[in-house]
């Protein structure tokens, strides 16, 4: 008898939870979707391609102007080579 009463209480509680949950309305804000693009590219100065020889000291990157994840657009400077006259 006690077991039957417990089963009926559990069934009633489950039915109440299901029925009361269907009437609940929720509002949500629009989701923001972020896309990441990974690509290989070529850095070319506006004045044309500069041929660099491997191993000479001026060929190193002196300063990097962007960080990982920064948004860049066409024409943005990404960095400067050593010996570049600003």
**7-43 tens-digit pLDDT:** 888 888 888 877 776 555 666 777 787 777 777 777 7
Q: Any idea of the CA torsion for 4, 7, 12, 13, to the nearest 10 degrees?
A: 140
What pLDDT, on a 0 to 100 scale, did the predictor assign at position 25?
63
Residues 46 and 34: beta-carbon distance below 8 Å: no
- CA dist., res. 36 & res. 59, Å (int): 30
Q: Is the pLDDT of residue 75 over 80?
A: yes
Contacts of 53 (CB under 8 A, 6+ apart): 59
What pLDDT, on a 0 to 100 scale, did the predictor assign at position 8?
84
pTM over 0.75: no
Q: Any idea of the CA torsion for 47, 52, 57, 62, to the nearest 10 degrees?
A: 40
> What digits encode the pLDDT tens for the residues 49-66?
666 655 555 567 788 899
Strands (E), 1-86: 61-64, 79-81
- CA dist., res. 18 & res. 23, Å (int): 9
């Amino acid at each position: 008898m006690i077991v039957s009463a417990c089963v009926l209480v559990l069934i009633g509680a489950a039915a109440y939870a299901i029925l009361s949950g269907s009437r609940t309305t929720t509002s949500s804000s629009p989701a923001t979707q972020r896309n990441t693009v990974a690509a290989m590219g070529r850095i070319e100065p506006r004045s044309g391609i500069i041929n660099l020889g491997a191993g000479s000291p001026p060929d190193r990157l002196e300063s990097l102007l962007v960080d990982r994840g920064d948004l860049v657009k066409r024409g943005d400077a990404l960095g400067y080579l050593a010996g570049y006259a600003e």
